[in-house]
Amino acid sequence: MIIVEEVQNENQKKEFLEFPSRLYQHDKNYIRPLDKDIEAIFNPEKNKFFKNGECQRFLFKNKKSETVGKVAVFVNKLYRQNQPTGGIGFFDCINDQETANFIFDHCKQWLMGRGMEAMDGPINLGERDKFWGLLIEGFIEPLYGMNYNFPYYVDLFENYGFKIYFEQLCFSRPIFGEVSRVFTIMHQKHKRNPEISALPMKKNNLEKFAKDFTEIYNKAWATHGEGKQIEEAKVLKMFKTMKPIINEHISWFVYEKEKPIAMWMNLPDLNQWFKYLNGKFGPIEKLKFLWYKKFKKNEKMIGLVFGVVPEWQKKGIDGFMIWEGTQHLRKHTDFTMTELQWIGDFNPKMIKIAENLDTTVTRKLATYRYLFDRNKPFERHPIL
């Protein structure tokens, strides 16, 4: 017998956060997400997606009142698919198919009651940049904001009937690894051009870099895949929020005279510091964080955005930027590895760019889909 509890009171909220820590207590690669990051997702005042959505969290307990699973289930009207599709996320479960089936059935009934015809998971009530996808290959320490799970979760999903809607590929390369000869040749070529220059991002001039970022991003991504226009004010707000963790040696902009033409944005992987905080970020943990940030080497950085304006694409300016930045950060930082945020397998253009950077796939996640009408043909995410 499994007892279902909707998460409503403080004790239930605490259990929703604590259960994974007990489940993964012997897994050396597990890094507990910050409680505040999880709770912010379920706070309508902090998560704008509640304006167009609905969400509930559930705990699942055995007859001894021991938690055996948890999940969040939600509807997001902005999540437009071929059929009305809801989402499940923050799924954790003991290694038992019957328990998992019970949880999935519960989510299915909840979503059907709200007119949904399918469910995707594990996903997030928000953007795809955080807590999205099930880890299916590369069971190593997760990056900040990335899902992590046991390998047996793949069986729990697939045995129930979920199918992979799209794979999420994470590419990485060693900082001191050999750089493509093409990059060094392109670097030499553009280095001789007095009109071309490269600058690292500086904290004391965020307004300039927000403006330059916006210009490059909107030109490079407006018509690329699922790219969309962004506003300079929002970029500046994001940069100011990121200011405490910006490393001034690892994000680079390239200019033709004064005109921004390319960017390579990176951040330190915060999980390399957060893994010592056990999900907490109160006054004591903030002091610990500052101590670790100052004295504990962080050897991994995350590639957030890479972009070149259309008129400079396929001219080697990416090679100039990468080798210019790489030479600098090798001298001035402790980073030994960079990993790109995931790229969907439906986006061959971006995959090609990643491959051209001499990267290798180090982990894969998957977004699964379950169609409630089992006779309906399953289709994967369309290629962009």
Q: Is residue 44 over pLDDT 60?
A: yes
pLDDT at 179: 82
* In the block, residue with structure tokens 């089936």: 101
pLDDT, tens digit (0-9, with 9 covering 90-100), for 204-246: 999 999 999 999 999 987 655 444 678 999 999 999 999 999 9
* Predicted confidence (pLDDT) per residue in 180-207, tens digit: 888 889 999 999 999 999 999 999 999 9
Whether 266 and 286 have beta carbons less than 8 Å apart is answered as no
Residue 283's pLDDT is 95
In the predicted model, what is the mean pLDDT of residues 352-371? 90
Integer-rounded Cα Rg, in Å, for the chain is 22
pLDDT in the model for residue 226:
47
**Average pLDDT value for residue range 5-27:** 97
Q: In this predicted structure, what is the pLDDT of residue 183? A: 85
Local structure of residue 68 (DSSP, 8 states): E
Read off the pLDDT of residues 137-195 as tens digits, 9 standing for 90 and up. Answer: 999 999 999 999 999 999 999 999 999 999 999 999 999 988 888 888 999 999 999 99
Question: Residue 274: how many CA atoms within 13 Å on its side-chain side?
Answer: 23
Per-residue pLDDT tens digits for 297-344: 999 999 988 889 999 988 999 889 989 999 999 999 999 999 988 999
Provide the pLDDT for residue 41: 95
**Angle (deg, nearest 10), helices 97-112 and 152-160:** 50
Question: Is it the case that residue 4 has pLDDT exceeding 60?
Answer: yes
Token output for 101: 């089936």
Averaged pLDDT score across all residues of the chain? 94
Model confidence pLDDT, tens digit, residues 252-296: 999 999 999 999 999 999 999 999 999 999 999 999 999 999 999
pLDDT at 341: 84
Task: Give the per-residue pLDDT at 56.
Answer: 97
> What is the percent of the chain with per-residue pLDDT over 70, rounded to a whole number?
98
> pLDDT tens-digit profile of 65-78?
999 999 999 999 98
**Other CB atoms within 10 Å distance of the CB of residue 64:** 6
Three state DSSP letters for 82-102: CCCEEEEEEEEECCCHHHHHH
What pLDDT was estimated at residue 225?
A: 45
DSSP 8-state assignment for residue 297: -
Alpha helix (H) ranges present in 24-126?
35-41, 97-112
